Structure 1
Amino acid sequence: MPGEDAVFTGIDEVDWASMHHAYGSAEDVPEFLRGLASPCSQERESALDGMYGAVHHQGDVYDSTLACIPFLFALVAQAELPDRSGIVELLVSIGGGDDVDECDHDEDVAPLDASVGDRVGDGGDTSRADDENDVERAGDENYVDPADEGDGEDRADDWSGEDRATDNYAMARTAVRAGSPVFAELAADPDPDVRRAVPLALALFLDEPARVLGLLRQRLHEERDDSVRLALAEGLGLFARRHREWAAPAVDCLVTLCAAPQDPGLRLAALGQLAGCAPDRLPAGLVPIVIALLRARSHRARVPEAPERPGTDTLIGHLRRLRPADEEGSHLLRTLHSALGGRTADRIALLKGQLTSPDPADRCNAVWMSAGLFREWRADFTEPVALTGEQLDRDDERLRDAAVSVLESLFSLAAPAADRLAALVEAAPEAWGRAGPTLGRPLKALARAGDPRAVPALALVLAQPVVPHDVGYTIEYLGPAAGQLAPLLRKRLGEVPLDGPETYERAAPLLAALGTLRDEAALPEVLRLLHASPRELRRRDWLVEALARTVKAFGAVAREAIPALRELLDSECAVSAADALWSVEGDIGSVLPVLLRELTSEGAAGGHRAAATALGRLGPLAAPAIPALRSLADSTEVWDRTAAACALWDITGNPEPVLPVLRSAWRQNSYTRGTIAAHLARMGTAAAPAHDLLHAELAAPRRHRARSGGYGSHDILEDERLLGSCRAALAAA
């Protein structure tokens, strides 16, 4: 590369070995940097992947990240170097530009983690809660998901303290701001990909508002590349949000773009930016205008795609393969939907227009847009869900897969699409997930919707040589209709090896299903695992916990399990064993001392909560635990406080010391609300002083788990359950 020596001047004098990135020593960082300047496109992509994967892992900023910034600026200044747009985007991300909407002109904000789902659209799923029996634990800061065991063993993310990490974000932002004049020089770069990346960088980092506004307006006048013009409109919108005192001319420019008889894509981009920075300037009849522009854009000849790059085994290459067919359209609509926020009526009307478009790419984008709406807001989604279901009849595989992915996360809200799901499951056995590690998504979506038409296909899946691990966790949503699956579940549980490396993974889902069905006939298979599994078995404690939960669900008919449960009262699984023993035997003398011991011990995280919950089930017989529960109700840990307060009510029936604790927890951690609302329903009229919380929740337009930077696969389900518990609590008063 011409000028390479100048670009990397001083790189060998940097003490990289003393620095760190996500996986330890930063000695390999010079190799990444030099790889960005390679004449080979695959080497450049691999180097960029290494920068994101290690040096800027999930948005983190390390000392090595800071040391890279001067070399990255030197690289983007080399006009002969291909793929510089990726380096500009990397600099924007290092400077905190991923957090576009929360960046303040005078504040340094750490960037949010960007998941794969965030980078390819709204269809990604960042949660592993599918296999949890108690998905509320996802909000417990002390809960450790078994799926996370060993996660991070090879990483060095914890090498620095929180204060140093915060300083690194601030220093990165300052360094990118200092180098930002380079972005102004790139505004007219010969490479359109570079020009497309520059407007965002200018609006975020160049602290010369007059110059930035002038550049953006000048480039809009001179630019001929449609995709770059869209980026310039986006830059104007961001500029208007960040520089309120300079916003008026930027907004005027966007209004002009909205009305001009020009590229419909550019008009859509301008409308999306206006919705975010000056909604009062939006034209009347926004939705019909947007739908008409979408139709016009779809009817235009598609710009030929750039030649496909050689495939690389990198995250960036994987994300490129996952991109929507119409990535530009996806971005335009995502921007508009995000800006409209809680205007659910407008967004639903817009989705209806998109989902009935003759263009499959428009419909596919609409499906992904609907995912964000369903996940974050509360409304009557019957029509858009039914229209999403209609996409299952299409021949377009990408569109069909998108629709299934969205419906899978809706649980009972997918009912308007159930007929289409059932038809797909019946017509396509591959939709069952045959011979795979996971259940087919169409079948899972149908079962999660509570539709009994999923049962025959699930029976066939359970008869396969390998049972997908998530079948058991899916069965609970089918209610009594799943009862006919019990014999197959028992048979498969009886086939689980006692000492295999995957004994827990194979048994836990089956145990969850049998416990949900309360199939007492499975007791022999349960006892086989409880008695015969070796103590050195991998994850044996987790297996015992799952077995105890199943025995607890069986209740008094499981008396054969009493000796085994008693043996566990001095083990790591003492709380679960005592809880199950109470359900089976009801012997307070055996159970209460164990739970009191565990309540006051210095055990593992979550143990106090479990002990308190089990004590609450004993009711007034647990009176000796009242002093310890009162102490736990003052804990700094919100889940412990919540569990202690609920137990105190169950034992004493006195709401006065309980309701203030529950009110505080409700406000502190939204994940506690499902537990609290269900408890308030049990309290009946005694919960009346807390009814204001319930009324406010029912009136809130936004789902209680909606958050920036990620989401869970069960968020919609848990929000709908919360709303149901709120209504039940008010009705019980």
Structure 2
Amino acid sequence: MRSTGSAVKAVVRYRRPDPQCWKVVVRAACNPLGGTWDAAKAVAQGGPAVSGHADRLARALATRLGNVEELALALAGMGDLRALPALRRLAKDGRFPTYRIQVRVLAALPAAELLPTMRAVLRRDPPKYHASTSILELLAQWGPASAPALPEVVPYLEGLYAHDALRVLGRIGPAAAVAADRLADFATGRAPRAARHHPRMAAWAHWRATGDPALALAVCGAAVASGSASHGLPFLAELGPLAAAHADTVRGLMESPGAWTRVAAAHAYWRITGDPEPAVPVLLAEVDPDWTGNPALPAREAVRRLGEIGAPAAASAPLLRRILAAEERLSHPYEDVRILADESYVRTLTAALARMGVGAPGACAPPSVPAARQGPLRRWRGLH
């Protein structure tokens, strides 16, 4: 009999474990007596990998016995609407998932189905830090579909969550124009609660809401010129050719001693000028095949930006294929989000290769392809 513990280790450690591993893990997580913590945390991250077990997960969730949060996240990650009743109960009971990377999984669900529940949570007084930031992150992921929540989001500008609320308003876009004056106050520092990290986000949100780039160009351009470059560059990148007056300054920052600033500057320069030639070498230099997921390094961001450049960055394809073909997942200090973090990187790599028009390596075929699972299957057995 195969060990649940060994199966959990296999799915957490390897990108392409044998499907039998997931079957064992799902069975343990659906145990009517509550299953095991490790199996439940793995299943919560499974998403498409456990889609073949959706009915079993839904039946277990309907019993409301143990692992409710994890089973709901698993179904949500595959966009299964049967997760909704449990998510609504969790929100009502104050047990809504709090990791931001977990909440991003919920964006696979239709906003219209879950948004009323999220609005009710945001109306609670006093708000809870982790729950509020997680829900605001979810609303930002939904973007314009979150517009009905404007009455709940705008009051958050008055508290500790102003930065998160500004991001949501920017992602909502034109429907948030009703808050344009408030956004301008934060962008210029006139708002009583404006902090030093608010002006750039607020100026960007003002542009997204009103369509007027003047404030964003002034505030974000000044930030880049003043030396706080990494805080203004992403917004200038979104402005694109509108920020042409700052192109020379941005290009100079591609030689910054800070890796994050170099990557942000390379991306911004390409977005502003449309010229990939100076940007690609800077981005490629940050793509480390041995990167372990250390958030202090912008490896994944560099891959994402190379993918956005597309065909002109195709010289990076062999390296991206090599990274994608790796059998082991990225490391992460928290095992209950390791699969999510690695799968996010895999999607970034796959999307980048697709946009370059070169495709992913055959070694990364779905687990249902026998050739793709032989190596991890041997390792899985070796864990017993």
Alignment match of 1:510 (pick from 132, 135, 150): 135
Gaps of 5+ in 2: 190-195, 360-384
Q: Deviations over 1:485-542 (max 9, x none)?
A: 1112112212243xxxx55444222222223233211112212222xx2xxx5xx2xx
The residue number in structure 1 matching 2:371 is none
Q: For the structure 1 residues 700 and 448, does the alpha-carbon distance in structure 2 shift closer, same or farther, using more than 3 Å as the test?
A: same
User: TM-score if structure 1 supplies the norm length?
Assistant: 0.43
Q: For the structure 1 residues 575 and 554, does the alpha-carbon distance in structure 2 shift closer, same or farther, using more than 3 Å as the test?
A: same
1:649 is aligned to 2:270: yes
Q: For the structure 1 residues 732 and 567, does the alpha-carbon distance in structure 2 shift closer, same or farther, using more than 3 Å as the test?
A: farther
Note the C-alpha offset of 1:471: 8.4
Note the C-alpha offset of 1:474: 4.4
Counterpart of 1:728 in structure 2: which amino acid? A
Distance in 2 between residues matched to 1:495 and 1:660, nearest whole Å: 49
Distance in 1 between residues matched to 2:163 and 2:299, nearest whole Å: 25
Note the C-alpha offset of 1:669: 8.0
1:635 is aligned to 2:256: yes
The residue number in structure 2 matching 1:724 is 350
1:291-302 equivalences in 2 (<5 Å)? none
Alignment match of 2:48 (pick from 394, 406, 412): 412
Q: For the structure 1 residues 412 and 579, does the alpha-carbon distance in structure 2 shift closer, same or farther, using more than 3 Å as the test?
A: farther
Alignment match of 1:557 (pick from 153, 160, 175): 175
Q: For the structure 1 residues 505 and 644, does the alpha-carbon distance in structure 2 shift closer, same or farther, using more than 3 Å as the test?
A: same
Name the SS of the counterpart of 1:689 in structure 2. helix
Percentage identity across paired residues of the two chains: 25
Distance in 1 between residues matched to 2:102 and 2:331, nearest whole Å: 23
Distance in 2 between residues matched to 1:443 and 1:385, nearest whole Å: 17
The residue number in structure 2 matching 1:388 is 25
Distance in 1 between residues matched to 2:184 and 2:250, nearest whole Å: 24
The residue number in structure 2 matching 1:521 is 148
Note the C-alpha offset of 1:656: 1.1
The residue number in structure 2 matching 1:369 is 9
Verify the 8 A CA contact 2:103 2:134 in the aligned structure 1. Answer: no
Distance in 1 between residues matched to 2:204 and 2:282, nearest whole Å: 24
1:538-557 equivalences in 2 (<5 Å)? 540=160, 543-557=161-175
Distance in 1 between residues matched to 2:358 and 2:172, nearest whole Å: 28
1:567 is aligned to 2:185: yes
Q: For the structure 1 residues 379 and 488, does the alpha-carbon distance in structure 2 shift closer, same or farther, using more than 3 Å as the test?
A: closer
Q: Deviations over 1:588-630 (max 9, x none)?
A: 2211110012123355xxxx32311110111111112222212
The residue number in structure 2 matching 1:58 is none
The residue number in structure 1 matching 2:319 is 693
Distance in 2 between residues matched to 1:396 and 1:528, nearest whole Å: 43
The root-mean-square deviation of aligned C-alpha atoms, in Å, is 2.8
Note the C-alpha offset of 1:449: 4.1
Verify the 8 A CA contact 1:404 1:445 in the aligned structure 2. Answer: no
Counterpart of 1:724 in structure 2: which amino acid? T
Counterpart of 1:414 in structure 2: which amino acid? V
Q: For the structure 1 residues 674 and 381, does the alpha-carbon distance in structure 2 shift closer, same or farther, using more than 3 Å as the test?
A: farther
The residue number in structure 2 matching 1:468 is 96
Distance in 2 between residues matched to 1:583 and 1:422, nearest whole Å: 39
Name the SS of the counterpart of 1:632 in structure 2. helix
Alignment match of 1:677 (pick from 303, 309, 322): 303
The residue number in structure 2 matching 1:601 is 226
Note the C-alpha offset of 1:450: 3.5
The residue number in structure 2 matching 1:614 is 235
Q: For the structure 1 residues 431 and 388, does the alpha-carbon distance in structure 2 shift closer, same or farther, using more than 3 Å as the test?
A: closer
Verify the 8 A CA contact 2:32 2:65 in the aligned structure 1. Answer: no
Gaps of 5+ in 1: 1-356, 433-439
Q: For the structure 1 residues 661 and 462, does the alpha-carbon distance in structure 2 shift closer, same or farther, using more than 3 Å as the test?
A: same
Q: For the structure 1 residues 453 and 472, does the alpha-carbon distance in structure 2 shift closer, same or farther, using more than 3 Å as the test?
A: farther
Q: For the structure 1 residues 363 and 380, does the alpha-carbon distance in structure 2 shift closer, same or farther, using more than 3 Å as the test?
A: closer
The residue number in structure 2 matching 1:486 is 115
Q: For the structure 1 residues 574 and 504, does the alpha-carbon distance in structure 2 shift closer, same or farther, using more than 3 Å as the test?
A: farther
Distance in 1 between residues matched to 2:128 and 2:32, nearest whole Å: 40
Distance in 2 between residues matched to 1:579 and 1:424, nearest whole Å: 44
The residue number in structure 2 matching 1:421 is 57
Note the C-alpha offset of 1:574: 1.0
1:583 is aligned to 2:182: no
The residue number in structure 2 matching 1:441 is 70
Verify the 8 A CA contact 1:375 1:706 in the aligned structure 2. Answer: no
Aligned length: 342
Distance in 2 between residues matched to 1:684 and 1:469, nearest whole Å: 35
Note the C-alpha offset of 1:660: 0.8
Verify the 8 A CA contact 2:103 2:135 in the aligned structure 1. Answer: no
